[in-house]
Structure 1
Amino acid sequence: MNHAESAYGLWTLVIINSTVFIMFAFSFFRPSTARDWRTFGAFSAFIIALFVEMYGFPLTIYLLSGWLQTRFPQLDLLSHNAGHLWSTLLGEKGDPHFGILHIASYVFLGYGFYLLSTSWHVLYNAQRQHSLAITGPYARIRHPQYVAFVMILLGFLLQWPTLLTLIMFPILLLMYSRLAIKEEAEMSKQFGAVYDSYAQQTPRFIPKFGHKTTLP
């Protein structure tokens, strides 16, 4: 099906949306170390890749156009809604912005940014006091800031999956896991037995129901 006016090539929107989300995340995370900048840089690359395909050039739609047109002959490939591929593949009807996956993506995005904000506040105060961050989200998991980034990325993937971001996602998971392990080694060296006791009580990424770490 042909579309009279393409929903792509809107590079101003690519720049505006990328800048807004990157600066929004920056205002919460505020990277200071080289490790922080690597974490934030990988997140920023994902965001830029996402919005380039959302408003600039639909690489995924282009590469899958033959299969999509055969499988969904009435699909308007150049429309914005066509980019919500999960909705198309699941056979959802109506506006994909009101679909269950899109609503779920808002939950992931909202809580992800909330978790990033609260985690940074606790970590910032702990760094100022040269102490260990063990309150707030850190009382439930050891790396809430990385979990927050993953939730935000997953939220975007539920909204607008692309081949590039789907490839990047597991790579970012591995990257954050390795950064977390390196960070733990540094914290153990800096705080010794106190951190080791904290690490034994507190899960790395997935919280235990009802569990909250308390140290003397």
Structure 2
Amino acid sequence: MKPALKLAPFILLGTLAYLGLAVLGWGGFAAFFAHPPLIALTIALFIMAGAALFSGGNLSPGEREDRSNRWVLAIFALIGLLSAWLPAYTDRTEFWTLDGEAVRWSGVVLFVAGGTLRLWPVFVLGHRFSGLVAIQPGHKLVTSGIYGTIRHPSYLGLLIGSLGWALAFRSGVGVLLTALTIPPLLARVRAEEALLLAQFGSDYAAYRARTWRLVPGLY
């Protein structure tokens, strides 16, 4: 599988910026990397960034896009910037923190699990996975594998990974930022499902009837 060369600069620069904001929040490299869980978090972040280069995902509007949903991207970007810096800052200043190294390590585990769940569907869909709500050329409905149970596994992975990042810094504020991600994420889910229903009709309606949006047995 060829690397996503067009997205490579965005992925690499975005990863460096995200980590840089966290290091800045913690007060510098020495302070940040004095914690083994944060070293593990950094390694996981770069491994997932490297994997993303080969996932096949894109930012193409494809053949048909719901442009009215693009506002969600701005909200995600804002929450993302705050999530990169603020949890690290509150960790350093001991503001609304959850005590214990076990919290940090549980955060690392959740970050890895969420990142895996976030990327797995991108590899499954390849070029059909876009950062925009869009129908791609040759788009086909995938209803097997991980998509046989939940319709939006990558979004669930995003939430789990965000929670893991917050807990790695013992940050109550970070947990709140994860919660604030849910409303725009659900707006994106509704827009995506409306587009897929318009594209695939009864096939998607039947698929939707037998699966869950994000959490099996709950939603």
Length-normalised TM-score, structure 1: 0.60
Tell me which of 152, 158, 177 is aligned to 1:143. 152
Distance 1:121 1:191, change over 3 A: same
Provide the residue aligned with 1:109 in structure 2: 111
Contact 1:54 1:83 in 2 (8 A): no
**Equivalent residue, structure 1, for 2:121:** 119
Which structure 2 residues correspond to residues 61-140 of structure 1 after superposition, within 5 A?
82=94, 85-87=97-99, 92=100, 96=101, 99=102, 101-124=103-126, 127=136, 129-140=138-149
Deviation by residue 1:113-172 (Cα, 9 ceiling, x = unmatched)? 111221012222655542102233211101111101101101012122556544432221
Contact 2:98–2:170 (CA<8 Å) still a contact in 1?
Answer: yes
Identical columns (%) = 20
Residue 190 of structure 1 corresponds to 199
Matched, 1:32 2:51: no
Aligned counterparts of 1:168 and 1:7: Cα–Cα separation in 2: 18
**Structure 1 counterpart of 2:59, which letter?**
P
Note the alpha carbon deviations across 1:83-136, whole angstroms, 9 max, x for none: 79211xxxx4xxx2xx1x222212211111111221012222655542102233
Report what 1:170 is aligned to: 179
Q: How many residues align?
A: 167
Distance 1:113 1:123 in 2: 16
Partner of 1:179: 188
Q: How does 1:43-62 map to 2 (within 5 A)?
A: 43-53=76-86, 58=89, 60=90
Question: Is the aligned partner of 1:154 residue 2:187?
Answer: no
- Contiguous gaps of at least 5 residues in structure 2: 1-24, 33-41, 62-66, 129-135
Give, in angstroms, the shift of residue 175 of structure 1.
0.8
Q: Partner residue of 2:27?
A: 8
Structure-2 change in CA distance of 1:139 and 1:125 (3 Å)? farther
Change (3 A) 1:83 1:21: farther
Q: Pick which of 195-204 and 42-51 moved more.
A: 42-51
Q: Distance in 2 between matches of 1:85 and 1:143?
A: 31
| Amino acid in structure 2 at the alignment position of 1:107 | V
Q: Does 1:202 align with 2:211?
A: yes
TM-score (norm 2): 0.60
Give the number of the structure whose alpha-carbon radius of gyration is greater: 1
Are the equivalent residues in 2 in contact too, given 1:31–1:37 (CA < 8 A)?
A: no
Deviation at 1:47? 4.1
8 Å contact 1:115–1:137 — kept in the other structure?
A: no
Structure 1, unpaired ranges of 5+:
1-5, 62-76, 209-216
User: What SS is found at the alignment partner of 1:85?
Assistant: coil
Local SS of the residue matching 1:123: helix
Distance 1:50 1:170, change over 3 A: closer
Tell me the residue number matched to 1:211.
none
After superposition, give the CA deviation of every residue in 1:166-199 in whole Å (9 maximum; x if it has no partner): 4432221111111111111111110001000100
1:86 match: secondary structure: coil
